[in-house]
Structure 1
Amino acid sequence: MLWFIFISIAIVFIYHHLLYPRLLAFIAAKQPVKAVPETKLSHREMPSIGVFIAAYNEAEFIEEKLHNLASQLYPNDKMGIHIVGDGCTDSTSLVVKRVSRHLHEQFIYCTYDEIKVNAGKVNALNYLIAKYRSEYDIVVFTDVSALMSVDCLEQVAMSMQNKEIVAVSGNYLPNSDAHESLDKYWQYQNAIRKLEGQLGAVNGFAGAMFAMRSEAVIKLAAKTINDDFVQVVSAIDKGHYAGFNESISIIEREADSSQQDFKRRVRIGAGNWQQLNTIFTAAKGFNKGQWLCFISNKVLRGVMPILLFVGFCALMLLAVKGDLLAQVLIASALSINLIGIVKAVFKWRLKLPIIDGVNYLVSSYFAALIGILTLSRYNTPWRRVAHVKAHIPYIAICKRCVDFVGALVGLVLFSPIMLVAAIAIKLDSKGAVIYKQLRVGRINEDKTELIYVYKLRTMRFDAEKATGAVWAQGDDPRITRVGRFLRKTRIDELPQFWNVLWGDMSLIGPRPERPSFYSKLESEIPYFIQRTYGIKPGISGLAQVMNGYDESVEDVRNKIAWDYSYVLSMTRFSTWLAMEFDIVFKTIKVVVLGKGQ
């Protein structure tokens, strides 16, 4: 009987972790692809979006969060930001009020309400729901410490074109300073949620960011723990789905240590057990796919800590009775756990993938069991978990190495092209071949760097004699015949490899602006100065390959969002590296196809 109990639980465990993802992939592959429409919405078609944020002692994070929201590729008149301070005892309110004044000058609607006594996140969100929900078509719930990809709100709006979708979220990326097992856990979860999205039954979203149709948003019971899951599952039925948009990225700025992650999992375990009642209450409205997803994922996750405890007890009893196989299994399990304890005590960084993975799984379920057994205590207000660390230094080191090698190779490879271009320029018009222009470089707290950027001349030598510094236009008469070709192919930028080699610029980064434009742009565009804060400007960048040359303040405004998206990628090494090479590829494509201006 004891072996039957243990084997039954082992089968359930294997199904939940190994077989369910494969079954889900098999079923999802046979479903119609629920792709997000690629056609962008017109301004009239864009829904109004309200961003709801509950804050508790967020002075360290809140300004960056508002910067992130102000940089979204979404019309200012179609969005509103609503923050409620839940009994904050630090300077959160002062920071928000200061930044809000600047946002209002840029016609970005931002409000701040204050609850005097810290009563918990759910209470704070209920306050915002009651006060502002009716003003919007879509409500986005997000944490202060979570930064969203630059087109997040745009992607939310595009996803919601499907009237059956009532909730949507995307890929959650933990802070790169968090322990490795947490990163692997979220890779697994993102993959599962993407597949569940094909069946319209994503089992809850990361509370860091999820969006819902406003009419589906409800006020929650005060003691609700996993508010994100309960909100979503309460809105799902046979005709309404929860979707997953893989184009959305949510980057966590808090870095949990192993101890902090354990405490968080205790709370999540309590929440998973608590929400079983919500699932069974809503289950009568589920379709077959939703039934499969919720039973196989959230229900099993909620009861798994208890099942594993029962299975372990059964195995222990068998071992005590002298069963050799049970004794071997118990000894193996204890040995693996002992290795994990030794690593933790002595802070060894030796990576043992299988052993580390098993220990993380065991500790997670042990934490969840504690949460279930202590469920009654989880009606206390929330507390800040961790502090964010500075940008990863090895990204800067790696980036400089790539810049130096890339610039050196670029100068060698493209010197013949630059020579031919120089001869053509000389034959086509009067003036010097190389044109240098003063630009604003990297900005730090104590200084602003001014650099000379070198380019092959594409305009008449006296192009700005009468007008002064002005933006180039698409059919600018000042551009020479050869210059027009050089700009289309971006060959005119090649001398900037010298700037990169000297360390004034990077291969990839935000474009440096001219000082004569700077004060105007800084006054008209929110957070314009932060586009090059601590980062060298680049020859190419995400903004250049997405937008091209600037012709107006509005063009620069659109580019700021892309520049910020690139800066955001630098919070994680893998994300930065992928974007770096993607921009290089897109730049080569622009040059080969002549899509420059």
Structure 2
Amino acid sequence: MEIAFWLLITLVFYTYVGYGIVLFILVKIRGSKVSPKIYDSVNEVAITHIVAAFNEEAYIEEKIQNSLALNYPQSKNILWIVTDGSTDSTPELVQKYENVRLFHSPERKGKIHAVNRVMPLVETPIVVYSDANTILNQESLHNITRHYIDPKVGCVSGEKRIRQDDKDEASSAGEGMYWKYESFLKKYDYHLHSVVGAAGELFSIRTDLYEHINPDTLIEDFYLSLRIAQKGYKIAYEPEAYALENSSESIKEESKRKIRIAAGGHQAIWRLRSLLNFFQYGWLSFQFISHRVLRWTLTPLALSLLLVLNAFLAVNNILYQLILVAQLGFYGLAFLGHFFQKRKIKVKALFVPFYFTFMNISVYQGFFRYIKGSQSVLWERASRKV
């Protein structure tokens, strides 16, 4: 029982902290596998920028204006807006712009169905995807396309950034901290070998590497990018191409997103299970398991088992009693964070325990949704602050 307890503690530490340390050390020992000349290169190839939008009338004009004003040759920056199923004024607002191509269908079948529908029409060598409620930095397209001078790069992941201010509550602040740590991991993943999946807020691919994706895929950006990595290409990471969006309106809204991602993560792990084969995929398998698989499968379970084992081991043993008090204290702080969150009281010291616990509960909820088949691809977008 003691051996199992300490193995579980090691697993939890490795998943959330240790992997980042190991990554950093490995890159320092092996050296970066990214050519420095990439960052001094200009590769302004023609791109098609696809934005899938569902009922985005509050954001779509700002998105279009931002996309057209990016520092990239206008003749090579083709903007497409796909509005399948939109019932608000999004299609009409898009039609106001002559240099934007609208693809509208009254039937709503999900984001990946919409993308599958328009991809056969793309004629440029590179496709960029971004969300309708995000704003891109001026140099984003330039900074993305320069990575394609490396023929081994098949996909480039931009960075997701969360707008924050001093009034943000625990869920918003936690989301921001989470993405900052994710950005650190992605940076070193890329320098070691490859990023392990791109985020849909901003990423790009070589057009000829796109494959028709099953319409029931829940997190199509993650699945599509890893399928490209599975073919032997690298997923690059470009922190100076970033998508800026507001934090979730509330913890309830953030929960929608986290549960969907967790359900999609379980689905993706099953469909990409061949990536678990170290003998075939080497470093990519190591990164896939360390960065993604553990976080969505074994480690949340380990957290629950640690409490149970600790309770048994604490009988007549002062060390395990102290550890149990520490565990219960941590979750007590998380509960307090939830309590104050509901009452709009901001206590910074509670952000980390609250958001950490919230994320792992979402993994459980997502797993049960996945096995029940109750997570629809027609998910309700989480409301963002304005």
Q: TM-score, normalised by structure 2?
A: 0.89
Matched with 2:250 is 257
Distance 1:32 1:330, change over 3 A: closer
Structure 1 or 2, whichever has the larger Rg, is: 1
Distance in 1 between the 2:367 and 2:93 partners? 38
C-alpha contact 1:169 1:243 (8 A) present in aligned 2: yes
1:115 aligns with 2:114: no
Give runs of aligned pairs for residues 444-593 of structure 1, distance below 5 A: none
- Measured after TM superposition, the shift of residue 7 of structure 1 is 2.3
Aligned to 1:163: 151
Q: Choose from 361, 365, 385 the match for 1:366.
A: 361
Question: Alignment partner for residue 306 of structure 1, among 301, 307, 310?
Answer: 301
Aligned 8 A contact 2:135 2:244 in 1: yes
Cα deviation for residue 239 of structure 1 reads: 4.2
**Corresponding residue number in structure 2 for 1:74:** 72
In structure 2, what is the equivalent of residue 19 of structure 1?
18
- Equivalent residues of 2:175, 2:247 under 8 A apart: no
CA contact (8 A) 2:338 2:354 kept: no
Asked if 2 retains the 8 angstrom alpha-carbon contact of 1:223 and 1:378, the reply is: no
**Equivalent residue in structure 1 for 2:346, among 325, 349, 354:** 349
Cα 1:282/1:357, change in 2 over 3 Å: same
Letter in 1 for 2:52: A
Task: Report the AA paired with residue 48 of structure 1.
Answer: A
Deviation string, structure 1 residues 131-189 (Cα, Å, up to 9, x no partner): x23x1101111110111111111112211111111111222101225521111111100
Please tell me whether the aligned partners of residues 87 and 119 of structure 1 are also in contact (alpha carbons under 8 angstroms): yes
Contact kept in structure 2, 1:51 and 1:139, CA below 8 Å: yes
Q: CA RMSD in A?
A: 2.3
Deviations 1:243-284 (A, max 9, x none): 112221221145442221122111111112111123322455
State the alpha-carbon separation in 2 of the partners of residues 318 and 267 from structure 1. Answer: 36
Structure 1 segment 241-390 matched on structure 2, within 5 A: 241-253=234-246, 255-284=248-277, 287-303=281-297, 304-316=299-311, 325-326=320-321, 328-329=325-326, 331-352=328-349, 355-375=350-370, 376-389=373-386
- 2-structure distance, mates of 1:89, 1:323: 63
1:237–1:286 contact (8 Å) kept in structure 2 = no
CA distance in 1, matches of 2:316, 2:118: 60
Q: Deviations over 1:509-541 (max 9, x none)?
A: xxxxxxxxxxxxxxxxxxxxxxxxxxxxxxxxx
Give the match for residue 462 of structure 1.
none
What's the CA shift string for 1:319-339, capped at 9, x where partnerless? 6x7876355345424432332
Q: Please report how far the alpha carbon of residue 380 of structure 1 lies from its aligned counterpart in structure 2 after TM superposition.
A: 4.2
SS in 2 for 1:201: coil
Deviations 1:416-470 (A, max 9, x none): xxxxxxxxxxxxxxxxxxxxxxxxxxxxxxxxxxxxxxxxxxxxxxxxxxxxxxx
Distance 2:84 2:116 in 1: 12
2:220 counterpart residue number: 227
User: Partners in 2 of 1:323 and 1:81 — Cα distance?
Assistant: 65
Aligned to 1:223, the other structure's residue is in SS state coil
- Aligned-residue sequence identity (percent) comes to 23
Which letter does structure 1 place at the counterpart of 2:119? I
Q: Which residue of 2 aligns with 1:46?
A: 44
- Over 3 Å counting, the alpha-carbon distance change for 1:151 and 1:286 in structure 2 is farther
SS in 1 for 2:104: strand
Query: Are residues 1:215 and 2:216 paired?
Result: no
**Distance change in 2, residues 1:221/1:58 (3 Å):** same
The code of the aligned residue for 1:115 comes to: S
Deviation at 1:113, TM superposition (A): 1.3
Aligned position for 1:89 = 87
Deviation for aligned residue 1:16: 1.2
Contact 2:51 2:132 in 1 (8 A): yes
The residue type paired with residue 114 of structure 1 is: H
8 Å CA contact 1:82–1:128 kept in 2: the answer is no
In the alignment, does 2:172 pair up with 1:173? no
- Counterpart-to-counterpart distance in 2, 1:26 and 1:330: 29
Q: CA contact under 8 A between 1:72 and 1:150: conserved in structure 2?
A: yes
Unaligned runs of at least 5 residues, structure 2: none
Residue 39 of structure 1: how far off its partner (Å) = 4.5
User: Counterparts of 1:238 and 1:26 in 2: how far apart (Å)?
Assistant: 27
Are the structure 2 counterparts of residues 86 and 305 from structure 1 closer, same or farther at C-alpha, using a change threshold of 3 Å? farther
CA distance in 1, matches of 2:244, 2:232: 31
The structure 2 residue matched to 1:184, chosen from 177, 181, 185, is 177
Q: Which structure has more RCO (C-alpha within 8 Å, separation ≥ 6)?
A: 2
Q: Quick check: 2:32–2:192 contact (8 Å CA) kept in 1?
A: no
Is the 1:86–1:118 contact (alpha carbons within 8 Å) kept by the matching residues of 2? yes
User: Does the residue aligned with 2:348 lie in a helix, a strand or coil?
Assistant: coil
Any stretches of 5+ residues in structure 1 without a counterpart? Answer: 105-109, 390-597
Question: Would the aligned equivalents of 1:53 and 1:82 in 2 still touch at CA under 8 Å?
Answer: yes
Match of 2:6 in 1: 7
Q: Is the 8 A contact 2:335 2:354 kept in 1?
A: no
Shift of 1:294: 1.0
**2-structure distance, mates of 1:11, 1:253:** 35
